[in-house]
Copies of this chain bind each other. A is one copy, B any other.
C-alpha cells in the first residue's frame, strides 16, 4: 500500500558502515581488527578545544544561536582566512553550519533548481550526489582518472557542460583519492564555470591537510566562489558536527532563511569550542597531528605500491589512499570482504565512491597509528603472496 519515496531507490547506503559492523562483530569474537575503513581521524579532539567546550557548558551556553552562527565565531573564521591564506573576508559572508553536511545541503538548496545539473567528479564523496537527489537536482558524475590526478580541469568542465548545467562541485583535496588541484588548474576551472554563468563550489574540508606544498584557497579566485569547510578533519572535531560556508554576499540572506527553516542553528556548544580550535595556541597541536598523518602516508603509500596496489599519482592531501586492487583479481567488494575476514584489515570498497572504477579500487584511510599500519602491511603481504 504505502511505500517509501522514489528517491530512496537512488540513494545508496555507505558500504563502509556494513564493513564497520562486520569488523565490530569480528572484534566481539576476539579477532584483532585494524581499522582503515572509516573517514575519521583516530585522534581525539585536542585538549584546549575540549576544555573550551567544558567552559562553555559551565557558563550555561545551552540556548540557540542565530541561524548563521555566533557572530564571534563568524568573525574568527573570517580572520582565519586572513591569517592562514591572506584572503580578506567579511564575517557576514560566513555561515556556520551543522557539519559540512549541513553546508552542502544549504548551498545546493540555495543555488540549484529541480532539473538543474551539477558536475561532480567520479570517484568522489558519495553524499554529494545524494544531496542533489533529495533536491531533485541532477548530479552528473564525470569519470576522472590518474591522467588528471583524479580531478576536474577546464577542459573537462567545457566538455561536459550541458544546457542544464548550472555548476561544478569539486573537493580539494578530494575524498577518496587525496588528490589536490594546483592553483593554475583551479583558476582555469573557475574561469570556465564563470564564462558559462555557473556556480563553482569547492569543498575544502581537507584543505589544511595538504602535505608537501602550499595551496591557496579557492576564495582567492573571486567573491563568487562558494567554499564548504569543516571543523571535523584538521580540527579533529568530527562528533561535534560543525562546519561552515563562505558565500557570495548576495547569497547570505537566502542561506540564512534556509538555515533558519532547515536547522534553526548549528550546535551551540560546538560553536564555543570551535573558537579554541581557531586559537593560535591550538595550532601547534593540530600541526603535530598533521605531521603524524603525513608520516603515515609516507610509510603506507610506497608499501602498498610494493605489495602491488596501483596508485599512479601521489595523493598530496587528506588521509586516504585510493588503490587499484585489480591485480589481485575480482571485485573490490569481494576483495574487501575477504581481506577483512582473512587478515582482519578493514578497508572500504571503491564502490562507495566511484561508479566508473569502484569495482577495481579500495580506499585505505590511514587513521591508525604507524605500528598498526605496519602490522596491516605485514598481514597483507603474507595474504597476497
Name A's B-contacting residues (CB within 8 A). Answer: 1-2, 4-8, 11-14, 17, 38, 40, 44-45, 50, 53-54, 57-58, 60-67, 98-99, 101-102, 105, 109-114, 126-127, 130-131, 134-136, 197-199, 224, 236-241, 251, 253-254, 256-258, 260-270
Contact = CB atoms under 8 A, between A and B. Distances in A.
Nearest to A53: B57
A92 to B, nearest CB: 14
B5 A112 contact: yes
Contact of A54 (B4, B57, B253, B256): B57
A62 B240 contact: yes
B62 A251 contact: no
A236 B63 CA distance: 9
5 contacts: A45-B60, A54-B54, A98-B241, A240-B268, A241-B268
A40 B57 contact: no
Nearest to A60: B44
A11 B62 contact: no
Which of A2, A14, A60, A102 has the most chain B CB within a 10 Å cutoff? A2
B62 A269 contact: no
Contacts of A98: 98, 241, 263
B131 A261 contact: yes
A1 B112 CA distance: 14
Contacts of A265: 239, 241
Contacts of A131: 261-262
A16 to B, nearest CB: 9
B126 A263 contact: no
A257 B11 contact: yes
A-B interface, 6 closest residue pairs, ranked by CB to CB distance from nearest: A239-B268, A45-B62, A130-B261, A4-B254, A127-B261, A13-B257
